[in-house]
Copies of this chain bind each other. A is one copy, B any other.
Amino acid sequence: MAEHTMMMEEALVALLKDKKYFSLRDILSTMNPADIAAVFDDLKVERLPLLFRLLPKELAADTFVEMEPEAQELLIRGFSDSELREVLDELYVDDAVDIVEEMPANVVRRILAQADPDMRKQINEILRYPEDSAGSIMTTEYVTLRPSMTVGEAIKRIRRTGIDKETIYTCYVTEDRRLLGLATVKDLLLCEDDNARISELMEENVISVGTLEDKEDVAQMFSKYDFLALPVVDTEGRMVGIITFDDAMDVMEEEATEDMEKMAAMLPSEKPYMRSNIFSIWKNRIPWLLLLMVSATFTGMILNHFEDALAAQIVLTSFIPMLMDTAGNSGSQTSVTVIRGLSLGEIELGDLPKILWKECRVAILCGLTLAVAVYFKILLIDKLLLGGEGITLPVMLTVCITMAATILCAKLVGGTLPIVAERLGFDPAVMASPFITTIVDALALLVYFGVASLLLHI
């Protein structure tokens, strides 16, 4: 795809240079809006308005929606009032809201001034909902039917009003704005009797979400139920909008990215990496680096405390990175598994005992395997191959026992912490790798020196 975009870009630039506007328009008209937007986003700024004006009206609006906010802002600033109005007229309300959210205040004022009063009202309504709520990603344009309509009347209504709706395939049956049921276009088309009443044919057990529901939970419902759209109701049970599957997909993707960022000790980013400036990247990365650096004081303190023991058996030092890394890896394996399970709804809060029991057994298996492996590794590589000095049997046993014991600790901490975090209302993903590494590092050292003092009498 990427190479294809680049070739297309060069071809378009060449045509633009030669002022072959008709050919340009012909080529662009065959392309998908998302692909046109990808080409436009990479173009030099001064060419953008000219190329954009070549697009047919509807394609122009579809392309506009797919472009990066920087390019959108640039275009809006270049639009005349009537050009802006033309683009706005073609937009769905939820797309208009997405654009408004990214623009600086003076551009927002211009957009709202040019939008027709009805759209302005709807934009302002959606903007009122909190950032992560279902309300913030819904659209207020959907097809409604009355229960008393016949199938034939319903189809006629869809044909008359469908043009402005983001989806016509799921229609909602309402009375006084109260949601009574839904009928899909498939139900309507496949119904053999044009005079059947909507009230007989509609699905009455409709799953809906509240305006303030977390958008991540809403996205999860889409993947569970395979919905095309989900109705949004206010606290009084009145229908206020719908969320469509494409927005749910975007949320799923964003949330997975955020979870990965949190697991890797970053604050969630607001923009894609290539469009973020270095200061915002720095701002997202430095807090955790600082916090974890300071929290490593504990491991330092433990090492200080056992300074004399280490000086007496300096060979112990060389196994510290291996023990700490293995502990960290074991802990993250478990915590990442649990965190992902929680966010997909596969694991619930009440599962903690089951998880700990499972992790216990897995830890014993992993611990035994690694203890045996590390024994032979030290014997063959460190002692025979590298001729390490001071590697006695008690030293080897100390490392093996520490290995098995820390894996057990690490897996239990890794399984417990995310669930405790979730129960306390914190974000489990933040509790993942970074924090857990610090904790199990300290645990690994404590076990190490504890075992060493028993076996080596230091």
Taking Cβ atoms with an 8 Å cutoff, the residues of A that contact B are 1-2, 30-32, 34, 155, 158-159, 162-163, 168-169, 185-186, 189-190, 204-205, 207, 217, 222-226, 228, 245-246, 248-250, 252-253, 256-257, 259-261, 263-266, 269, 272-274, 278-279, 281-282, 285-286, 288-290, 292-294, 296-297, 299-301, 303-304, 307, 310-311, 314-315, 317-322, 324-326, 328-330, 332-333, 335-338, 340-341, 344-351, 354, 358, 361-362, 365-366, 369-370, 373-374, 377, 381-382, 386, 388, 403, 407, 433-434, 437-438, 441, 445
Please measure, in the bound complex, the distance between the C-alpha atom of A282 and the C-alpha atom of B362, giving whole angstroms: 6
A386–B307 CA distance with the chains assembled, in angstroms? 14
For the complex formed, measure the closest distance between the CB of A251 and the CB atoms of chain B, giving whole angstroms.
Answer: 11
Q: Which of B34, B278, B346 is in CB contact (< 8 Å) with A225?
A: B34
Given A32-B205, A252-B253, the answer on whether A341 and B307 have CB atoms closer than 8 Å is no
A347 near B273 with CB under 8 A, answer yes
**A388 vs B305: C-alpha distance when bound (angstroms):** 10
Bound-state Cα–Cα, A330 to B274, Å:
18
Contact of A264 with B189 at beta-carbon distance under 8 Å, contacts A310-B317, A326-B293 already known: no
The secondary-structure label for the interface of chain A is helix
Instruction: Find out whether the CB atom of B225 lies under 8 angstroms from the CB atom of A257.
Output: no
Q: How far is the CB of A98 from chain B (nearest CB, A)?
A: 13
Q: Which of B223, B282, B310 contacts A314 (CB under 8 A)?
A: B310
- Assess whether B370 is in contact with A293, with CB atoms less than 8 Å apart: yes
Number of chain copies forming the complex: 2
The answer to whether B382 and A297 touch across the interface, beta carbons within 8 angstroms, is yes
In the complex with contacts A32-B225, A257-B344, A159-B190 CB distance below 8 A: yes
Nearest CB of B to A116, in Å: 21
Is the CB–CB distance between B345 and A272 below 8 Å? no
